[in-house]
Amino acid sequence: MSDGIGLPISHRQRLWLYGFGGLVLLFLIAPSVIIVIMSFSDSTLLQFPPQQWSLRWYQSYFQSLEWRDATIVSVKVAIMTALVATPLGTTAAYAINRGTLRFNGTINALLTASLIIPVILVGIGTFFLYARIGLNNTLTGLVIAHTVQALPLVVLTVLSGLRSYDMNQERVARSLGAGRIAAFWQVTMPQIRFSIVSGALFAFITSFDEVVVSLFISGGETTTLTRRMFNALRDQIDPTIAAISTCLIVLSVLLLSLAQIFGRRH
Amino acid sequence: MSIAPSALPISMRRIEKRFGSVPVLRDLNLDVEAGEFLTLLGPSGSGKTTLLMILAGFVRANAGSIKVGGDEIITTPPHRRNIGMVFQNYALFPHMNVFHNIAFPLKQRGVAAGETAQRVEKALELVKLQGLGERRVDQLSGGQRQRVALARAIVFEPRIVLMDEPLSALDKGLREHMQIELRALHRRLGMTTVYVTHDQREAITMSDRIAVMNGGRIEQLDRPETLYAAPKTQFVAGFIGESNFIPVESRNGSVWYGDRRIQTGAPTPPAGPHLMVVRPEKLRLVTAADPSAGINVLEATVSDIIYQGDSFVCYASLRDGRQLTLRDYCRSDVLARMPAPGQPIMLGLDAKDTILVAAEG
Amino acid sequence: MSAQSALLKEIAGPAGQDLNAQALRADARRESLRLLALLAPSLFLVCAIIIVPIGWLFWLSLFDETGAFSAANYARFFEQASYIKTFISTFKVAFIVTGACVLLGYPLAYMLSQLPRRAASICLIFVILPFWTSVLVRTYAWLVILQRKGLINSWLIDLGVISQPLSLANNFSGVVIGMTHILLPFLVLPLYASMKTIDTDCLRAGMNLGAGPAATFRQVFFPLSLPGLASGVVIVFVLCLGFFVTPALMGGGKVVMWAMRMEQTTSLYSNWGAGAALGVVLLVVTLALLGLFQWLLGARATGVWSSR
């Protein structure tokens, strides 16, 4: 349907479709928009539209040590997760793309398993394991657990980059005298780097937004932002969370636009 | 033809390749002489590209030996084989300009910057792309890309150059032009070249020798003119040039088509069924008076005549219903005798042009 | 001379004995090892964090509280009413949410597939952005909108439609609305991708052969879009079964779903065996549904995940 030549149905005959589709789009986007607007409200009551505007919820977010520490933990973990998951996922995708290993399908299934296995099960399992080896409430433990969650996204993103890349280029580089590593770095890597960067961004955001596993394995000094938010939401609806949510939405928009830009250049 | 001092012969012995349990190459033996332009010709699935990939080191054979100038290279990784390769889609590096593409193999070999610039310049000159070094790859036309890929494959003076259908992406006119140019370049540089194509005309135009491949084996390895004039199998006769096949029988020391004796240029083959290879352009119209010794005459009826400007094609059926094709140029003497559909004609075939091949099952 | 005689010996060598076959096999093995080395760190992490603990939990689920080997943890699911209630409400939520996603998602995906490329990519942002927004943020937003003094209620009261606030959050309807919002993109994106691959010429042919727009849609477009719809449905359903965050925050304690039950059993009561047994059954059901889907539709499901 991408040829731009429509069918002999006029847009007017389809008004009902556009109307309904528009409402569904509104349903999808409205909650985020409402939260962003409300985060600038002056009132403790969550009125919409707000009567008075202020930045008091942002102040309360940035001035709270607890929120700030949790944010720092989340940022640290997300950066480290991206740094670990990206090279691991890239090399794994490269090996899978070669497709010469006998158990390629099984390996692929294993690496993308965490997309299919219920997160709650992974959370409980990881907690159980970490309790034995003392990794609960540690940054290392969080980074490892988040890396496993982020790996499938990196693998799939890089894999799709590799699939649209012409492997003959690496072959020709080898025939021209480049060793395996030189051929990858000088020829393959520059051409799939946008996929790799997208994969890294996805890894970052996956870690940053991860709730369920963190709920089990983070706590004390390593409480992540999402865990703190979850606990706060269980108690009462604090408008500070609207400010935090807005920051998270902005982060998502930023990272997504970056990924989009890189994706397009690829 | 000059042979480059760096050119080396290749000797392939008993190459076996299976994909899973499917055999792709079977007990393949092939010798390429130093400085020779050898073409692997065959339909898709004949194993020609696989053989080239094994030669380049991108596909691993299951067994066999490849010696280049006496050195075994069957397990040598591709980057140490010193073999230049041109791919069907050129595989130019889009993130580098023309200069850096061609300089790539020199950079891998640690050639100094000054010498690199000189050699790249020389290579560009060889492929007639002087002054285009700074161009981006996507600013080049198809023909120019082809030349850059070629320059990149020869700039490091490899022992061997491999080409995998390098002209198939070009349009017809440019392709024919590049065939002549590639041939001239080979004459000038004299590197051992193995060329893969499925286009028999291209193979005939360019090659010193052609290896016709079918079903993972080499059916026949010969000079182009020999392949055309004396194909050894029905497959080769059918693949190279146009052919009609007429079943004949060898008995009592002669060859017979029904009750008519066939004269051939070669010694009579062993008794049994054979096929006579009839090329359209070797046939001519004869009158009953014409026939003499050394000409086989076949009686036929014209089914259709197609006029093609410079030439015409006449489709005729023999008495047993078998179809024959005759092609001739539109000279006035031929046109004067041009038969009409439905008319009986006599087709003459010189004994020297009468080829027999074994009948395949 | 020596090279020549060696060559002759080689050619004359016994037939059937493969030349260099051993060296080539060794080379192939080395290559496989190199590739495995590239995969090893990832595979190790996945095994250590996912496979081993889940296997361990599975083992634990086979023992009762006294440490005796028994099926008590599984038998409990059929005996205790609270478990049965959990399963029923989980499947009820899953069916309703999946149904709502289909009703909202199919027309949306259809519209996106019919829009000109530019308009479609702008509309698509509205689908992808929520997709990448934290589940917590979106759940919070719905809490704000649906609670007693929330947006919907205050608007409806201001408009005079109702006099008493409706209870929308902290109950079943809150869970369904929140989860539908969160899972809708999982249906729309694969469905849209599959609709894009439907050849317009097929539809033109349908019309050319005398079918009206409605008949063409029903007889040509809809059947062609079914595989994409099915994969979206399976994903949404499977995710529903194991969903935790939204029901935990929006259920108000009234809706206990499978994943919440697991969390309570392990965190609150530290009954690892029982929690593990729940997890095992959840995993089996999930894999069975995905397997069934793969079996019905070939290997399309994997492509669906990669559309994320």
Provide the CATH number for the domain around residue B290: 2.40.50.140
Cβ atoms of residues C242 and C131 within 8 Å: no
Enumerate residues 102 to 131 of chain C having a beta carbon within 8 A of any beta carbon in chain A: 104-105, 107-108, 110-114, 116-117, 123, 126-130
Rounded to the nearest angstrom, the minimum Cα separation between A186 and chain B is 10
pTM summary value: 0.86
Amino acid at C67: G
Same domain, B131 and B221: yes
Q: Structurally, how many domains does chain A consist of?
A: 2
Q: Say how far apart CA B9 and CA A251 lie, in whole Å.
A: 63
* Shortest alpha-carbon distance between residue C1 and chain A (Å): 32
Residues C183 and C239: beta-carbon distance below 8 Å: yes
Does residue B59 sit in the same domain as residue B124? Answer: yes
pLDDT, position C17: 62
Mean pLDDT, chain B, rounded, equals: 89
Domain span holding position A22: 12-57
Burial class of residue C71 (count of CB atoms within 10 Å of its CB; 0-12, 13-18, 19+) = exposed
Same domain, residue pair A181 and A255 = yes
pLDDT-derived band at B263, boundaries 50, 70, 90: confident
Contact flag A101-C32 (C-beta cutoff 8 Å)? yes
Please identify, among B232, B265, B300, the residue that sits at the C-terminal boundary of a domain. B232
Which among B13, B61, B70 has the least Cβ separation from residue C24?
Answer: B61
How far is the C-alpha of B78 from the C-alpha of B73, rounded, in Å? Answer: 9
Q: Is A176 an interface residue toward B (CB < 8 Å)?
A: yes
Q: Is C308 a residue whose pLDDT tops 80?
A: no
- Domains in chain B, number: 2
Type of residue numbered C187: L
C24–B62 CB contact, under 8 Å: yes
C304 has a pLDDT exceeding 60: no
Region C123-150: mean pLDDT is: 89
pLDDT tens readout for residues B266-279: 888 888 889 999 99
pLDDT computed for residue B5 by the predictor: 66
Domain for residue B4, yes or no? no
**Based on the domain organization, do B220 and B249 belong to the same domain?**
no
Chain A partners of C135 at a C-beta cutoff of 8 Å?
209, 211
Residues of A in contact with C128 (CB under 8 A): 256
Q: Is the pLDDT of residue C181 over 70?
A: yes
Q: Output the pLDDT for position C12.
A: 43
Residues A192 and A123 grouped into a single domain? yes
pLDDT digits (tens, 9 = 90+) for B288-311: 766 677 788 888 999 998 888 888
Same domain, A45 and A126: no
Q: Which of B59, B85, B161, B165 to mutate: most A Cβ within 10 Å? A: B85
Domain boundary among B193, B214, B232: B232
Both A186 and A211 in a single domain? yes
Task: Give the ipTM.
Answer: 0.88
Q: Is residue B165 part of a domain?
A: yes
Which residues of chain C have a CB within 8 Å of the CB of A122? 49-50, 53-54
Q: Is residue C252 within 8 Å of residue C169, measured between CB atoms?
A: yes
Residues A229 and A100 in one domain: yes
Tell me, yes or no, whether A68 and A44 share the same domain. Answer: no
Q: Are residues A208 and A231 in the same domain?
A: yes
Answer whether residue A3 is part of any domain: no
Provide the token pair at B21: 């349990």
| pLDDT tens figures, B328-345 | 888 887 777 788 888 888
Task: Please give the pLDDT value at position A226.
Answer: 93
Query: Is B5 contained in some domain?
Result: no
Query: Per-10-residue mean pLDDT for chain A, 266 residues long?
Result: 49 82 94 90 76 88 92 96 97 90 84 88 93 92 96 94 91 93 94 92 94 92 92 83 92 87 65
pLDDT at C68: 81
Please say if the pLDDT value at position B43 is more than 80: yes
Of A175, A180, A183, the CB nearest to B84: A175
Q: What is the pLDDT of residue A2?
A: 37
Judge whether B2 lies within some domain: no
Whether A119 and A67 map to the same domain: the answer is yes
Measuring CA to CA, how many Å separate B337 from each of B282, B310, B328, B333? 17, 16, 12, 7
List helix spans (H) across C52-149.
Answer: 52-60, 72-79, 81-114, 117-131, 135-146
Whether residues A182 and A52 fall in one domain:
no
Say yes or no to pLDDT of C236 above 80. Answer: yes
Question: Residue C214 pLDDT > 50, yes or no?
Answer: yes
Residues of A in contact with B95 (CB under 8 A): 190-191
A48, A141: one domain: no
Least confident of A236-240, B192-196, C10-14, C92-96: C10-14
- Are residues A226 and A100 located together in one domain of the fold? yes
Q: Which of A42-46, B58-62, C121-125 has the lowest mean pLDDT?
A: A42-46
List all residues of chain C from 132 to 191 with a beta carbon under 8 Å from chain A. Answer: 132-145, 147, 149-151, 154, 181, 184-185
Among B138-152, C26-40, C201-215, the minimum mean pLDDT is found in C201-215
Asked whether residue A27 falls in the same domain as residue A128, the answer is no
A39, A250 contact by CB (below 8 A): no
CATH code for the part of the protein at C87-258+301-305: 1.10.3720.10
A100 belongs to a structural domain: yes
Distances (CA, A) of C268 to B24, C241, C273: 64, 21, 13
Does the residue A4 lie in any domain?
Answer: no
Domain with B183, as residue range(s), is: 10-232
- pLDDT of residue C10 exceeding 80: no
Residue B74 pLDDT > 60: yes
Regarding whether B60 and B78 lie in a shared domain, the answer is: yes
Residue C305 pLDDT: 41
Query: Among A55-69, B322-336, C38-52, C90-104, which stretch is predicted with the lowest mean pLDDT?
Result: B322-336
The region of weakest confidence among C13-17, C52-56, C72-76 is C13-17
In a shared domain, residues B268 and B156: no
Cβ–Cβ contact C209 with A under 8 A: no
Q: Which of B176, B204, B232 represents a domain boundary (last residue)?
A: B232
Take residue B337 and report the two structure tokens written for it: 């005798």
Sequence letter at residue C272: W
pLDDT digits (tens, 9 = 90+) for C253-278: 888 899 999 988 888 778 888 888 99
